[in-house]
Amino acid sequence: MEYFEIAFAGQIVLGAELEQAKQGVQRLFNANEQLMEQFFSGRRVVIKQKVDQATALKYQKAFAAAGAILEVQKIESDSVAPVATPAATPAPSASSGAEVVPRDAYMAAFTHVQAPDFAIAPVGTDIVEHQEHQEQPELDVDISAMSLAPVGSDMGHQPAPQDVLVPDISHIKLAD
C-alpha cells in the first residue's frame, strides 16, 4: 500500500486572498493564533504522515476549498527523500526534481528542500538560444542640451547655502 505525507508551507491558491485562506485553514483545524502563525510562517509544516491516497486527496481538496495549497508527498520506504507531488494535481505523481541521498547527518536536513533540477552543460555547449536580430528603427533623439561632467566631479546636487535671517532678541527677558 502507498502512504503519503501531507504538509503545508503557507502557500495560497492563485487569486485567493490571504486573510480568507487563513480563516479557512483556521476553521479546518479549529486552530489558535500560535498555530496559524506557524502554518503561515513560510516554513513547511507536516500535518499528517503515513496516510492513504484517499485521505491525502480529501485533505488537499479541503485546503483548496479554503484557498490554500497543501503539499502531498509519497513516502518511499526504501529511500530517504520522498518524491514530491505538486499540490495542484488531483493525484500523486513524481516531481521533476532530483532525488538526493544525503552523504551525512548534516546534509540529511536538506533532503526535503524543493528546488529545480538544474544540470550542468558540457564544456563548449552554447546555452543561449540564438534569435534572429531584428533591425530596430533609428530613433531621432535630440541630446544637444546634455553634457558630461569632468572626471572626478561630484555628481550630487547640493543646495546652495541660504542666508539665514536671525531676528534681534536682545530686548527679550525672562520673568522671575
Residue 80 pLDDT: 39
Residue 5: which of 75, 84, 91, 69 has the closest Cα?
A: 75
Structure letter (DSSP) for residue 134:
P
Instruction: Report how far apart, in Å, the C-alpha atoms of 175 and of each of 87, 108, 171, 172 are.
Output: 78, 78, 13, 10
Residues 6+ apart with CB under 8 A from 131: none
Here the cell at position 158 is 547640493
Residue 168 pLDDT: 92
Whole-model pTM above 0.85?
no
- Mean local confidence (pLDDT), 125-143: 79
Q: Where are the domains of the chain?
A: 3-110
Fold assignment, 3-110: Ribosomal Protein L30; Chain: A, (3.30.1390)
CA 32 to chain CA centroid, nearest Å = 25
